[in-house]
Amino acid sequence: MPPVEHAGSNEGLDETPHGLANRVAQQLSVIYAGGELTPAMHALAVDLLKAMRLDDDMPQPNPYLNHWDQRDALMITYGDSIQQEGQAPLQTLKHWLDHHADGCITGVHILPFCPWSSDDGFSVIDYLQVNEALGDWDDILAIGAKYTLMGDLVINHCSSASQWFANFLNNEEPGKDYFATASPKDDLSLVVRPRTSPLLREVEAIDGTRHVWCTFSHDQVDLNFRNPEVLKRMVEIVRHYLDNGVRIFRLDAVAFLWKKPGTSSLNLRKTHEIVRLLRTLIEHARGDAMIITETNIPNQENLSYFGNGNEAHCVYNFSLPPLLLNTLVTGDCFYLKQWMMSMPPPQHGTAYFNFIASHDGIGLRPAEGLLSDEELQTLISTMRRFGGHVSYRALEDGQNKPYEINIALMDALQGTVAGPDEYGLQRFICAHAIMLGLEGIPGIYVHSLLGTRNDLERLEATGQNRAINRHQWQLEELERQLADPGSEHAQVFHGIKELLAIRQNQSAFHPNATQFTLHLGSTLFGFWRQSSDRRQSIFCISNVSDKAESLQLSDINLIEAQDWSDLISGEDCNKQQMLLEPYQTVWISNRRDHR
């Protein structure tokens, strides 16, 4: 992503009055020494700078620099989502990107590509190796040389099959004190987690019985960041990833990082300070490197990971998927509009990462406090009718609560609360048109880009709910589908590509351009975008219902002295009203920018 300077200056920024080592030592003191700047913190800071190959006299990067613009869009994919016999999947992925997505996709998030033992990659055995079933570091480098590469730093936990864990059990280094433990007698009643399995796993170590902390599964053992050696190891891994082309670090499940019995062990102060520390090290190592936090939690907690422009460059817009899905299956944008009006505009140097489908499910925690219990139950029931499944999390009282809906987005949008209908394709394209117009950087899951439906065979074979949306395409079959104009997959792919092509040329679609929510009733969802130079305005309006709706152009106050047209259809908008067909989106602009 090319750096784009906003209209401003570096005035007030601290260049290097104290040196980078001292700044890092101050951050470490918050984590490990109660805020006291001790010699041990200085020594640890020097070790971290050495691991990252940083000099003490490096200047402070400008935190208000945008590393993105409207041309940027990322595709989210597993390394083996597209396969060809006889070829490493990472090579097949690059081949497909080069031949089909070059020009519309500027970046790619390759989901965990290290050797793993469970959770489709999120239980890492060795952070410094590429899973040989996918390819090697040369394949990662080749993708990163052409596309902005996002990689997962699975920072909260690693595999029980790792050498670190074997060493932990044998009281050997590295690994001796690398994993979080607790006593069953500790007060763990307030701990928040997204699973229903027991939090503690009993293991027999060489020095006796231990109870290791497992936020997610008993194969995913939480790392012990109370031990500074674990932090040093993670920093070494970050440096290795930078050397191999990773430019965006997705901090997986980072909200759970610091554990403290008697608390929720979620979003603790020291967790935020570790994010700040990683930001300091990463942005000094590479001016174009970024952090994005993966925090599938309620909306306000999620937003806290922006910090004061000193934590994540981007946060996932986790509330968008359930709210947009609810809007399109009910035909009522009330809740989506209410949420939009509450969202603060990110300051320069930060941005929302917008997505509406992912390798996981459609999270329900980010909808807490935004959708009523009745709305959530209606949404869950509708998704079950469309072939979806529901995953649960445990509550303090021992009850289980729906945590996420597992379904392919193409199937999730096949109808409304009244049942399936003939508008599935239009509804699906509408969802993406809304996302692509919003402030923020878009991330499109590969199976949304390709219009992939529920993979029931994979679901049955694995017994894992999330497998329903983790199909693996054979390249030959995918090519055949995309070459057929009548194929649903081709229609989805080319429909989204056309929207991306339009978006890339409009300055009002810069991720940090002004955005205001419009009030057009319950069935017309709209918002206004304006470029930073105020030369371009775009009114993004979607009919979210299955009935044609009339848009009174006087309701959006188009300036009469300017010519207005729909960027998508090319239709002239210098008239009193427009008729929007079911799920039609218009991007009404006073100019069509071209680069």
Question: d(Cα 139, Cα 136) in Å, to the nearest integer?
Answer: 5
* Euclidean distance between CA atoms 492 and 485, whole angstroms: 10
Q: Which of 304, 336, 371 is the last residue of a domain?
A: 304
Instruction: Pinpoint the alpha helices (H) of 488-581.
Output: 488-504
Map 498-521 to HEC letters.
HHHHHHHCCHHHCCCCEEEECCCC
Within a domain: 152: yes
Does a structural domain hold residue 54? no
Specify whether the CB–CB gap between 288 and 249 falls below 8 A: no
Amino acid in position 389: H
Identify whether 455 is part of a domain: no
Count of domains in the chain?
2
Is residue 393 within 8 A of residue 193, CB to CB? The reply is: yes
User: Which one of 287, 304, 321 terminates a domain?
Assistant: 304
**Token pair for 41:** 């913190």
* Alpha-helical runs (H) found in 310-454: 320-330, 334-342, 373-385, 409-412, 424-437, 446-449
**Residue 525 belongs to a domain:** yes
Dihedral (Cα; 122, 127, 130, 131), 10-degree rounding = -40
397 is catalytic: no
* 412, 469 contact by CB (below 8 A): no
Residue 112 lies in a domain: yes
Rounded to whole angstroms, the Cα distance separating 571 from 585 reads 12
Write the single-letter amino acid at 566. Answer: D
User: Is 16 strand, coil or helix?
Assistant: coil
Q: Of 284, 304, 324, which residue sits at a domain end?
A: 304
| CATH assignment of the domain containing 253 | 3.20.20.80
C-alpha span between 564 and 507 (Å, rounded): 16
Angle in degrees, CA 283, 289, 292, rounded to 5: 100
Domain that holds residue 188: 103-304
d(CA 27, CA 188): 28
Annotated binding site: 119, 157, 250-252, 359-360, 466
CA 364 – CA 497 distance, rounded (Å): 29
Give just the sign of the alpha carbon dihedral 481, 482, 484, 489: positive
Q: Compute CA 4 distance to the chain's CA centroid, rounded to the nearest angstrom.
A: 22
Query: In this structure, how many other beta carbons lie within 10 angstroms of the beta carbon of residue 11?
Result: 5
Residue 559 CB burial class (10 angstroms; 0-12, 13-18, ≥19): exposed
List 416's β-bridge partners, or say none: 419
The string of pLDDT tens digits covering residues 56-84 is: 999 989 999 999 999 999 999 999 999 99
Q: Is 518 a domain residue?
A: yes
421 located within any domain? no
Contact 142/158 with Cβ under 8 angstroms? no
| CA-based nearest residue to 538, from 512, 514, 511 | 514
Residue whose tokens read 């989502």: 81
- Cα separation, 18 vs 416, in Å, equals 59
The reported pLDDT for the residue numbered 10 is 39
Q: Among the options 139, 219, 222, 252, which is catalytic?
A: 252
pTM above 0.85, yes or no: yes
When computed from its CA atoms, the radius of gyration of the chain, rounded to whole angstroms, is 24
Asked if residue 225 is part of any domain, the answer here is: yes
Per-residue pLDDT of the chain (595 residues; tens, 9 = 90+): 644 433 333 333 343 346 999 999 999 999 999 999 999 999 999 999 999 999 999 998 999 999 999 999 999 999 999 999 999 999 999 999 999 998 899 999 999 999 999 999 999 999 999 999 999 999 999 999 999 999 999 999 999 999 999 999 999 999 999 999 999 999 999 999 999 999 999 999 999 999 999 999 999 999 999 999 999 999 999 999 999 999 999 999 999 999 999 999 999 999 999 999 999 999 999 999 999 999 999 999 999 999 999 999 999 999 999 999 999 999 999 999 999 999 999 999 999 999 999 999 999 999 999 999 999 999 999 999 999 999 999 887 778 999 999 999 999 999 999 999 999 999 999 999 999 999 999 999 999 999 999 999 999 999 999 999 999 999 999 999 999 999 999 999 999 999 999 999 999 999 999 999 999 999 999 999 999 999 999 999 999 999 999 999 989 988 877 899 999 999 999 888 999 999 999 999 998 765 4
Domain CATH code at residue 532: 2.60.40.1180
Cα separation, 384 vs 403, in Å, equals 14
Compute, in degrees rounded to 10, the torsion defined by CA atoms 224, 392, 123, 139. -130
User: How many C-beta neighbours within 10 Å does residue 185 have?
Assistant: 8
- In this structure, the strands spanning 314-316 and 351-354 are parallel
Q: Which helix (H) or strand (E) holds 473?
A: strand 473-474
Render pLDDT for 364-386 as a digit per residue (tens, 0 to 9). 999 999 999 999 999 999 999 99
| CA 280 centroid distance within chain | 21
**What DSSP element (H or E) covers 210?**
strand 208-213
Residues in contact with 493: Cβ distance below 8 Å, sequence separation at least 6, in sequence order: 100, 449, 450, 451, 482
Binding residue positions for substrate: 119, 157, 250-252, 359-360, 466
Cβ pair 119, 216 in contact under 8 A:
yes
Instruction: Report the relative pairing of strands 157-159 and 220-222 from DSSP bridges.
Output: antiparallel
